[in-house]
């Protein structure tokens, strides 16, 4: 049985990742800020191999605690999914510095730290993979409309981290990818999103399945379409 660790697992894309991997027979380690309130996840524990851990990504000690609990347990896949938009409006005149730093912490620094802490678990598995839910909005090439300073800059920072990891983990045989899920109807994507979570995660699971050391370091969307950095 393969094991996947998923952050932000209580709602949106993270919850759909959990549902689909569980149905595929994987063991899922789901992390979220408030497991006691994660009713959709709790329901899934009745029929599936699902463990739920508390994890607020803004708390580095909490990241270390989860890693301690998992010491010696092999992981096949780490999905760094949790993220925030960082509030609005995000025109330059209204970007609050504290908000901006907090968004950097959650969207860029925390996924890097979590990855660092879980590397020993990933190194226990042949062909382990690490993926990050980033966004086209972190792409320089794709930015045709400006604005969204907080979100764009936090995802651009994440993209730089992903690229470095894909190089640094080559000797470990761990493949790394930057994933854009599409514009999805979730709390973050809003009701005008173009696709639902099921469509996005169906596509992203296939992309992850095809991720290997041959295409490590790719930046692709849920339909395998490459995105320019």
Q: How far is the CB of 171 from ligand NAP (least distance, A)?
A: 28
3 state SS of 190: coil
**Opening angle at CA 134, ends 198 and 77, nearest 5:** 70
Q: How far is the CB of 183 from ligand NAP (least distance, A)?
A: 5
- For the four alpha carbons of 129, 133, 135 and 140, in that order, the dihedral sign comes to negative
Residue 155 φ then ψ, to 5°: -75, -30
Q: Cα–Cα distance between 196 and 48 in angstroms, integer? A: 23
Q: Residue 69 or residue 172: which is nearer to ligand NAP going by CB?
A: 69
Q: Do β-strands 3-7 and 50-54 pair in parallel, antiparallel, or remain unpaired?
A: unpaired
Active-site residue, 151 included: yes
Active-site entry in 21, 85, 151, 222: 151
Q: Residue 113 or residue 123: which is nearer to ligand NAP going by CB?
A: 113
Q: Residue 42 or residue 213: which is nearer to ligand NAP going by CB?
A: 42
Q: Applying CB under 6 A, which residues contact ligand NAP?
A: 7-8, 10-14, 32-33, 55-58, 81-84, 106, 133, 135, 180-181, 183-184, 186-189, 193
3 state SS of 97: helix
Give the burial class of 191: count Cβ atoms within 10 A of its Cβ; 0-12 exposed, 13-18 middle, 19 or more buried: exposed
3 state SS of 176: strand
Q: Residue 82 or residue 208: which is nearer to ligand NAP going by CB?
A: 82
Active site residues: 151
């Amino acid at each position: 049985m393969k094991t996947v660790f998923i952050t932000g697992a209580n709602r949106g894309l993270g919850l759909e990742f959990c549902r689909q991997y569980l149905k595929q027979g994987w063991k899922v380690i789901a992390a979220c800020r408030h497991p006691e309130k994660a009713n959709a996840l709790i329901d899934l524990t009745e029929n599936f191999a699902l463990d739920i851990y508390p994890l607020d990504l803004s708390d580095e000690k909490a990241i270390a605690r989860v890693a301690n609990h998992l010491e010696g347990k092999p992981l096949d896949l780490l999905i760094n999914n949790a993220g925030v938009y960082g509030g609005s409006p995000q025109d330059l005149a209204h970007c609050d510095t504290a908000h901006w730093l907090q968004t950097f912490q959650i969207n860029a620094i925390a996924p890097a730290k979590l990855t660092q802490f879980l590397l020993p678990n990933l190194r226990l598995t042949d062909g382990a993979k690490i993926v990050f839910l980033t966004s086209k909005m972190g792409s320089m090439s794709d930015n045709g409309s400006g604005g969204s300073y907080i979100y764009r800059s936090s995802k651009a920072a994440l993209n730089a981290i992903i690229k470095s990891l894909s190089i640094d983990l080559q000797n470990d045989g761990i493949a790394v990818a930057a994933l854009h899920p599409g514009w999805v109807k979730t709390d973050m994507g809003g009701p005008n999103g173009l696709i639902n979570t099921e469509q996005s995660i169906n596509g992203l699971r296939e992309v992850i399945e095809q991720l290997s050391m041959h295409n490590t370091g790719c930046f692709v969307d849920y339909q395998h379409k490459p995105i320019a950095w």
